[in-house]
Structure formats: structure tokens, C-alpha cells
Amino acid sequence: MILKRLLVNIVLVASLMLASYLLYRVFHRYSLDEVVASIRAIPTVRLVTSAAFAAASYACLTGFDWLGLRYAGKPLSYSKAAIASFTALSIGHNLGVAALSSGAVRYRFYSRWGLTTEEVAKVVLFCGVTVGLGLTSLAAIALLANPDDARKALNMTAGHVFFLGIGCAVIPVAYLVLAATVRAPLKIRRWGFQIPSVSASLAQIALGTLNFVFVSACLHQLISADTDAGFVQTVTAFVLANIAVLVTHVPGGLGVLEATVRHVLPDSASIGALVAFRAIYFLLPLALGLALLAISEMWSRLKDGRRSKDGGQPHPEVCEQGAHSA
């Protein structure tokens, strides 16, 4: 246990050091005045449109949880799924190791609403698979539609990029085949996980891909404000940046995302656009997510206090909810 904790701390410190180094590589050529001027050069309409695409992405992410709850056999209202999803992911996106950080926040919400640890794990797994399916699907599109930028960024031949794109395309197809043919649950230790139905699997692929399309559009609105960067080029840069973030496990992809996008689009990704993107997609949702978490914790404690005053009996409001769910 001590060794495991030590290894986790070492990985965390190494990730933070890598993030600091990459941020230095990206920013060291610019003064604060230049960064501020670069951000101010982005038209307001671009900032608003970028924020709208970011909101659309988070809306897709709430759909992950809504479907995941049904997959786990514990369907909740969309409003509850949306609150838990947004709070968990807005925090998880910034802390890194999203499956653990966002999973812990999800557990805080879903355990209050009657889900067991195993059921929450199923929701987290479903959402994680959906993210993977969306990323590989969009990666296939980016690699096959824009092989030149991918070849330069990955230092590969055109043939290798083509086969990599085909390999990415095979993953969602194979997942659909498994969904159509395999009905026995997959066992992971003492927990069993059923592969979703074909319709749920199609929804995972569609929502997962659409999520990354919206995030790419959020970034594209900013970097194309004063350049001719194409949307497919931006998608390619963002997909490669996400793969790099997953490999490095740097919290929030700090530095990794910026460095990768700058590497793929050296003449298009202004420093102001990258800073604005992080503020819009990561930091603003983080502030909202932390506020929602704080409000939910205070509300939960208030309800627990009422129950204590009632002599340990459930509050009438809780009884009413239980009657409706029954």
C-alpha cells in the first residue's frame, strides 16, 4: 500500500514537471503583454461561438451518463445525470486521470441516489468506453481525411498513416460486432459487465464522436480567428493532442495539449487562442463544477441534519421521492 502510494506520488510529480517544461517551451518566447494582446485580438463573436461549442460538448458528455445509467440498470432523470456528469467531468478534465477523479465525484452523487459501488463502476466504464470510441472514430476520420498533417506530426510515411487510420476505424466496427454477437457478461474480478446492445453501442459511437467534433470546433473558432487553418486540420491537431494527453496523464493535459497543437499547426495556433481555449473549455467549467459540488454537499448535509432532528426518520420529502420511484 505504501509502495503504491509512493508510485502514484512519483507519477504525479513527474507529470507536473513535464507539464511545467512543456508550458515553458510554449510560452517562453512571449511576454505577458504579447499573450494578452493575442487574446484581445480574438473577435468577441469568436469567443462566444467557441463557448457555445464547449457547452455543446458538455451536453454530449451528459448524454454519456444518461445512457450509462440505463446500461447499469439504474435510470435516473436527465437532470440528475446532467448535474453529476458536468460536475464530475469539469473537475476530472482539470485533475487528470479522469476515470478516477471524475469517478469519485460521480460516486458522491450517484450513491446518494441509490446506486451501489458496482453500478457506479458500470456507469464510469460505460462513459470511458464511449470516450474511447469517440476518439478512435474521429482519429480514423482525421488520419484518413488529412494524412499530410498527421504524417508530419507523427513522423510517419503516408502508408503507415493510412494503416493507422484503418486500425482506428476497425475499433468501433469491432465493438458493434461484439455488441451484436456476444451476450455473455465479461468478468473483471468479482464484477460482471455486459456489452451494451447494438442501439446503445451506436449511440455511444455517435455521441462520443460528436463530443470531440464540438471540442475541435471550440478550438477551431479561436485559432482560425486570424489564420486560414481548416477545420480538418484542427481536428487532426486536437485528436493527436488528446492521444498525447492520455499517454502522459498530465493533469488537464496542461502543456501537452498546447505543445501538440503548436507542433501540428505551428503557423496557425496563436498563443492567445490556446490560452483562450483552456480558459473556455477547462477553467470556466471547472469554476462552475466546483460551485455545483459545493452546493450539492451543503444541500446533502442540510438534509442529513433534518433527518437527525426528525429522530433518524427519513424526511417527508425523501419518502415522497421513494413513493414516486416505486
In a domain, 44, yes or no: yes
Torsion of CA 216, 79, 123, 6, to 10 degrees: 70
In a domain, 13, yes or no: no
Q: Which residues lie closer than 8 Å to 202 by C-beta, 6 or more apart?
A: 176
Contact present, 61 and 211 (Cβ < 8 Å): yes
Contact present, 23 and 254 (Cβ < 8 Å): yes
Predicted pLDDT at 245: 79
Give the single-character DSSP code of 42.
S
Q: Which three cell numbers stand for residue 252?
A: 488537464
Query: How many structural domains are present in the chain?
Result: 1
Predicted pLDDT at 317: 43
Query: Long-range contact list for 296-300, CB < 8 A, 24+ apart?
Result: 296/83, 296/87, 296/108, 296/109, 297/108, 300/112
In a domain, 312, yes or no: no
Give the single-character DSSP code of 104.
H
In a domain, 20, yes or no: no
- Torsion angles phi and psi, residue 308, rounded to 5: -65, -40
In a domain, 27, yes or no: no
Q: Which residues of the chain have pLDDT under 70?
A: 1-35, 96-100, 188-192, 248-249, 251-252, 304-305, 307-326
Write the burial class of residue 217 (CB in 10 Å: 0-12 exposed, 13-18 middle, 19+ buried).
buried
In a domain, 10, yes or no: no
Predicted pLDDT at 131: 94
Predicted pLDDT at 321: 42
List Cα–Cα distances, 79 to 62, 82, 118, 144, 258, in angstroms.
Answer: 9, 5, 22, 38, 33
In sequence order, which ranges of 96-116 are alpha helices (DSSP H)?
98-112
- Residue 53 CA to residue 218 CA, distance in Å, equals 5
> Look-up: residue for cell 451494451?
196
Q: What confidence tens digit (pLDDT) does each residue in 264-301 have?
A: 887 777 888 888 898 899 888 888 988 998 898 888 77
Distance of CA 55 to the CA centre of its chain: 13
User: Residue type for 246, please?
Assistant: L
In a domain, 251, yes or no: yes
Q: Which domain holds residue 92?
A: 33-307
Give the single-character DSSP code of 251.
G
Residue from 127, 131, 106, 101 nearest 117 by CA: 106
Predicted pLDDT at 17: 62
Predicted pLDDT at 323: 37
Residue from 19, 26, 81 nearest 269 by CA: 26
In a domain, 6, yes or no: no
List Cα–Cα distances, 242 to 11, 33, 146, 184, 307, in angstroms.
Answer: 19, 29, 17, 32, 45
